[in-house]
Structure 1
């Protein structure tokens, strides 16, 4: 019998066919993700209001518990009274903040209408060094932008702020009413007292991390906004309050927000004065303040409360910005903190938590 060399040749490895149920699970996962994404987009007004309400509830729940433990003589402050006082303070604060933001938005819209033409010429003059033809081409392109339409859209978004504020207050009120029953509901959901205690610890860890981040970020952003306001006031420039408020708000957007705020401050001064030296001076001062606060003071105060990957933060900003717009960018970091801590509790999702962390290490401790 003749020996055939084809029989000695190694046969290629056979790839086992994917089981039908695996393909079904994959398709179901894709469909569930698409439906969830559609729900996030379509119900974003309600979901954004709910997310802000949960954050406000998280920030004040510990204070309410501390007030409820106080004694006035032989009497203890009732929990319902502490909740009502906190809700009244939150409602008054949100309504005041909404009124201030609406007033500043109206001021910005009014001034934008009056400064539209000078602003277009000022931006076009930045390209004068490239030649008169280039400057005229840039001016013609800018003049094609329908400023009135964008300003009307901005005014429409500002007008919806009041309805969002009322909805947030309602959500916070119902959360306060339900806070006494959270432990019992966790025990019923988990079916085990040990698991309920573990879930409560996880929720408490998320609340502490998010609260610390928001408190530090609020203090740092407020300091930055005050410095920008002082720079505008000392220089005698208009729009000091709107630019300061915008700087305070944009500083909650990691990495990108401070850059945008600095550029807006320099551009506003250039449009107001038509003086490149003044604009560069304000840009340099605001940029220096942002650099020192963002790279020295902010990390020192934040400590280890925010162990997030820089690349993960950018991805989170892009995703939530695409889904929820500008409010999604403000909420991106708190959502990412909650997601990282929650994923760390599951062995199957722990690799995702490791990828979201800055150091690749999840220790579960504050």
Structure 2
């Protein structure tokens, strides 16, 4: 059977350009939306960092408030408003006290380090003395060009905004407590379906559970690490033993990078103060062993499968949020990543993102939610 021939002057059919145009338009809209969101994240960083911190603190204390409200005093329990006020007062006290301690320790580190600034070039140049006087002079001149004092004053200025952030976090937490009673009702009205609202509530509860567990384990391990580093610094007679222990505790909330920075910081302080290479190497080795033991053995053992996020994904999250929000963004990177992974695992179109972010490629499923009900 022969195929019918096309008339000689018939028009040649052309493909419809509409699908390609729609794909290009969609890609352009996604890029523009991402750019706008990124711009807003950078411009409103102080407000958004405070809000994210407030949400984490609120999630940490929500269960405690419910437990306080269930305490029986006479025929009735403690009113919700009273439990919220008590929790807000405790959070305010802890935040303001912690901010004051960090600021005082930052000032101590600043003043002491500035006193050592003049000695640092000589101590660093002494390490290359074996290469000859020319190499020693070159290293001394190179180190002297670094404006360490200016960097330290800049960091101190950034630390000065910590108290303002603490006050803003307290205000946000107070508003969240005031809205807590109506959250379920608002969620159901927003979604318009009780089943969907219940599912969304379970997803939020799962995020809160896993972030809370991560923060509690991280706090315990960081506190132990800080105390051990403090003991090592005191044993070797370092002037900044207390600030080094506190900074180690704080920096250990930054996965992987924080422990490295804390270890190098201890070694630098020891080298500048003691000017003894072998002794500094011993302090560096002991501090590194403490960080390795607590960070790579005890921490994963306690964390178990509660986090289940990819190590590479954590590094990507650290890089992104560190670039957008600076050091505070690195502290919030893991909780934000956990929330994104859980949400994406329950959205069919975004499940591939959850697979990439999860450790074993097995993001949270409906059965995981049911077990936490």
TM-score if structure 2 supplies the norm length? 0.92
Alpha-carbon deviation of 1:161?
0.9
Alpha-carbon deviation of 1:363?
3.5
SS at match of 2:118: helix
d(CA) in 1 for partners of 2:152 and 2:290?
30
d(CA) in 2 for partners of 1:135 and 1:313?
41
d(CA) in 1 for partners of 2:129 and 2:324?
39
d(CA) in 2 for partners of 1:362 and 1:16?
40
Gaps of 5+ in 2: 1-13
Residue correspondence of structure 1 range 37-186 to structure 2 within 5 A: 37-186=38-187
Aligned partner of 2:301 in structure 1 is 300
Residue correspondence of structure 1 range 1-366 to structure 2 within 5 A: 19-364=20-365, 365=368
Q: 1:15 to 1:155 in 2, by over 3 A?
A: farther
TM-score if structure 1 supplies the norm length? 0.93
Alpha-carbon deviation of 1:49?
0.6
Gaps of 5+ in 1: 1-13
SS at match of 1:238: coil
d(CA) in 1 for partners of 2:346 and 2:30?
21
Alpha-carbon deviation of 1:329?
0.6
1:334-361 Cα deviation digits (max 9, x unpaired):
0100000000011110000000001011
Contact 2:117–2:149 under 8 Å retained in 1: no
d(CA) in 1 for partners of 2:91 and 2:99?
12
Alpha-carbon deviation of 1:131?
3.4
1:39-61 Cα deviation digits (max 9, x unpaired):
11111001001111111001000
Alpha-carbon deviation of 1:236?
1.8
Alpha-carbon deviation of 1:16?
8.1
CA RMSD of aligned residues (A): 1.5
Alpha-carbon deviation of 1:145?
1.7
d(CA) in 2 for partners of 1:353 and 1:189?
25
d(CA) in 2 for partners of 1:214 and 1:131?
51
1:164-200 Cα deviation digits (max 9, x unpaired):
1100000000000011111011111111010000000
d(CA) in 1 for partners of 2:315 and 2:141?
35
d(CA) in 1 for partners of 2:53 and 2:364?
28
1:305-349 Cα deviation digits (max 9, x unpaired):
111111111111111111111111111100100000000011110
d(CA) in 1 for partners of 2:311 and 2:235?
36
Contact 2:125–2:137 under 8 Å retained in 1: yes
Contact 2:57–2:173 under 8 Å retained in 1: yes
SS at match of 1:93: helix
d(CA) in 2 for partners of 1:75 and 1:83?
17
Alpha-carbon deviation of 1:121?
2.1
Alpha-carbon deviation of 1:19?
2.1
Alpha-carbon deviation of 1:15?
9.7
Q: 1:231 to 1:191 in 2, by over 3 A?
A: same
d(CA) in 2 for partners of 1:55 and 1:315?
21
